[in-house]
Structure 1
Amino acid sequence: MRAVLVVNPKATTTSERSRDVLVRALRSEVDLALRYTRRRGHATELAREAAEEGVDLVVTLGGDGTVNEVVNGLMTAEPPTMRTGTTPAERLPALATVPGGSTNVFARALGLPREWPEGTSMILEGLRLGRSRTIGLGRADDRYFTFCAGFGLDAAVIRRVERARRRGRVSTPTLYLRSTVSQYFLGSDRRHPTITLERPGEPAETELGTVIVQNTAPWTYLGEREINPNPQASFDLGLDVLALRRLRVMSTTRTVTQFFAQNPDPRGRQVLRLHDAAEFTLVASRPQAFQLDGDYLGEREKVRFTSIPAALRVIC
């Protein structure tokens, strides 16, 4: 089996020594080529090249941003015609992800351990046993995502966190909490919701304050705790949506508290939820912050979301 390991050398929780250990472990199972990312977006190029070279497996070592880039490279590749099938998962190389970031939502959603040594062991076992899973993806306009997207408040929080990290701050649950509180009270126009959700054949849902889109559950983690706006979201189904119609202090606090419940089921007059949606479009009367898989992508006024079933085969 031919494989390519795409490494983000700035991955949060790994060192050069640990990368060497990982490489030796993988080479015990596969014919491995090692490729390092040098800039933002480079992992997309490396994964696309690997798929078009006809490799069988692409492995990532990095966080959710690295995984997202690799997935986009795979999904936009033109693999050799020797691979046939009716779905992308049948035509494209398999994906394995070794957790190396600070949160690793995608890897943990697949059931992989949080730490890279244990995650590597589970992947190696999956390779030996031929164990894999086919998952669906989400697509926002022309970009794919694995676990979540955000339009509005949560994306603005990520923008604030990324700015703090560029100033030298470490990504911690405390930083996210402080950024959320600051953005909510100081950075959001909570009185004038501007987002509309449009679905084919359905009435438009207007005056939404913020929208969370999930391709699986949980949405993210706060340390070890799962945060679950859409607990029924699944890699095996369409997209799930939670939107808040108003960002009032009491109703927003009550809804966010429900995200952390043992059996979360967020409800309320200000809550809109959709389950297993195939497609929808978000339109805003003024630009809104936008994120995919925890990566801030700027501001948008319109984004079309689509569920892509049977998109990738993952080793887990």
Structure 2
Amino acid sequence: MKIGIVLNPASGRRGRRLFWSALRRALEARSADISLRETKGFGDAERHGRELAEDGCDLVLAVGGDGTVGEVAGGILRSHRPGAVFSFIPTGTGCDFARNFKIPREPARIAEHLVTAPVRSVDAGLLTCETEDGLTCTRHFINIASFGVSGEIVRAVNEARRGRKLPGRMVFFYHSLREILRYKPLSIRLRLDGEDVYDGPVTAVAIANGAWFGGGMKVAPEADVADGVFDVVIIKGAARLKVLTLMNSIYSGRHVKSPLVSTRRARLVEVWPAGEPASIDSDGEAPGHIPARFEVLPGAVNLLV
């Protein structure tokens, strides 16, 4: 079995050498031929994922956080072999996509899982937006894309990566509190499957393939990664105190009962700013801002999980 591994070396540093030594031995004991590539910056994971898929790997494995996972999946989808089998080992700050599945954590069990687990088709998203330079950016996402205060939170988390010692959930919680206190709701126009559904200020809008983002926030409790549609969660603009109170219930998914929150399902999401553009979060990265288009790609990823 030829396994191509894309590793983010800045992710999950504690015990990484011992972990990789044990995992490599376990994989090689199962006759795996390993090709390892490490990332150095934004975009590397997508490029490595594409190249490994085109090199004929039986499995392309992402090791890192949600950003690495999303980029590698996107690289495979952009390759000449978009049906190449994909899997991942979560080691990042958020690791929210992994919450949708039961995944082993011990090296020996991971190795066994990678050679015996079934492959299933799951959905992906295709995002088109504007970059900070005013250019058009197109990228895939596999978990959740969002905009509003969530985009500002992701920027703050990513800028604080170097030297942090807190667990991922606490990092996201701290920056969520700080950015909510700073954020002023921005007005948008939202269209779902060709129908205008909202025009006004928002705190955040999540276009969800998976259920979790933000280090364990269950923003879209009913989301299914293989149902062919996005769960779109609209958190309306509100006073900071109300948003902070709502945040207390988002980890359990109870926020969807709030009058500030509405949920819809759609295959195509389009959004335009009615003033200052809101920042976008895509699988824990910050590719740009609205206006934007989010399109579901049903069953696009062959996921071993």
TM range (shorter): 0.7 to 0.9
Residue identity matched to 1:207:
G
Corresponding residue number in structure 1 for 2:132: none
Deviation at 1:17, TM superposition (A): 2.9
1:296 is paired with a residue of what secondary structure? coil
Select 1:33's aligned residue among 16, 32, 35.
Answer: 35
Q: For residue 141 of structure 2, what is the aligned residue in structure 1?
A: 145
Distance 1:157 1:134, change over 3 A: same
- Amino acid in the other structure paired with 1:43: A
Query: Taking structure 1 as reference, are residues 268 and 57 closer, same or farther at Cα in structure 2, changes over 3 Å only?
Result: same
Match of 2:284 in 1: 294
Partner of 2:101: 110
Cα distance in 2 for partners of 1:159, 1:265 equals 24
Q: CA deviation at 1:254?
A: 4.4
| 2:193 is the counterpart of 1:216 | no
Matched, 1:125 2:113: yes
Q: State the SS of the aligned residue for 1:286.
A: coil
> How much has 1:203 moved relative to structure 2?
2.8
Moved more, 283-292 or 193-202: 193-202
- Seen in structure 2, the aligned counterparts of structure 1 residues 111 and 286 have a Cα distance that, compared at 3 Å, is same
Tell me the equivalent position of 1:195.
Answer: 188
Identity value in percent: 25
Aligned residues: 290
**Structure 1 246/4 Cα, relative in aligned 2: closer, same or farther at 3 Å?**
same
Question: 1:281 maps to what in 2?
Answer: 270
Within-5 A mapping of 1:238-257: 238-257=229-248
Query: Paired residue for 2:57?
Result: 55
Q: Structure 1 residues 260 and 60 mapped into 2: Cα distance closer, same or farther (>3 Å)?
A: closer
Contact 2:146 2:281 in 1 (8 A): yes
* Counterpart-to-counterpart distance in 1, 2:74 and 2:52: 12
CA distance 1:10–1:254, change in 2 (3 Å):
closer
- Please say if residues 278 and 306 of structure 1, whose CA atoms lie closer than 8 Å, have aligned partners that are also in contact: yes
Please name the residue that 1:85 is paired with: none
Note if contact 1:3-1:32 (Cα within 8 Å) is conserved in structure 2.
Answer: yes
> Is the 1:123–1:315 Cα contact (8 Å) retained in structure 2?
no
Q: Distance in 2 between the 1:245 and 1:32 partners? A: 48
Where do 1:178-193 residues align within 5 Å? 178-186=174-182, 188-190=183-185, 193=186
Corresponding residue number in structure 1 for 2:296: 307
Q: Report how far residue 219 of structure 1 moved.
A: 3.0
Aligned to 1:159: 155
Q: In structure 2, what is the Cα distance between the partners aligned to 1:200 and 1:100?
A: 35
Alignment match, 1:19: 20
- Of 237, 242, 261 in structure 2, the residue corresponding to residue 271 of structure 1 is 261
**What is the rounded CA distance, in whole Å, between the counterparts of 1:241 and 1:71 in structure 2?**
22
AA at the equivalent of 2:267 = A
Kept in 1, the 8 Å contact 2:94–2:213? The answer is: no
Cα distance in 1 for residues equivalent to 2:172 and 2:194: 38
Q: What CA distance in whole angstroms lies between the structure 1 residues aligned with 2:40 and 2:251? A: 37
Give 2:164's aligned residue. Answer: 169
From 85, 95, 114, the counterpart of 2:86: 95
In structure 2, what is the equivalent of residue 228 of structure 1?
Answer: 218
TM-score by structure 1 length? 0.83
Give the Å deviation of 1:240: 0.9
Change (3 A) 1:100 1:294: same
RMSD over aligned CA atoms reads 2.2
Residue matched to 2:4: 4
Q: Give 1:74-85 correspondences, 5 Å limit.
A: 74-79=76-81
- Three-state SS of the structure 2 residue aligned to 1:227 is coil
Q: Report the secondary structure of 1:211's partner residue.
A: strand
Normalising to structure 2: TM-score of the pair? 0.86
Any gaps of 5 or more consecutive residues in structure 2?
A: 129-137
Query: Shift in Å at residue 126 of structure 1?
Result: 4.8
Deviations 1:247-300 (A, max 9, x none): 224542443333233x6361333222113x1001121131211111111224x1
What CA deviation, in whole Å up to 9, does each residue of 1:190-222 have, x standing for no partner? 3xx31221124423411131212211112343x
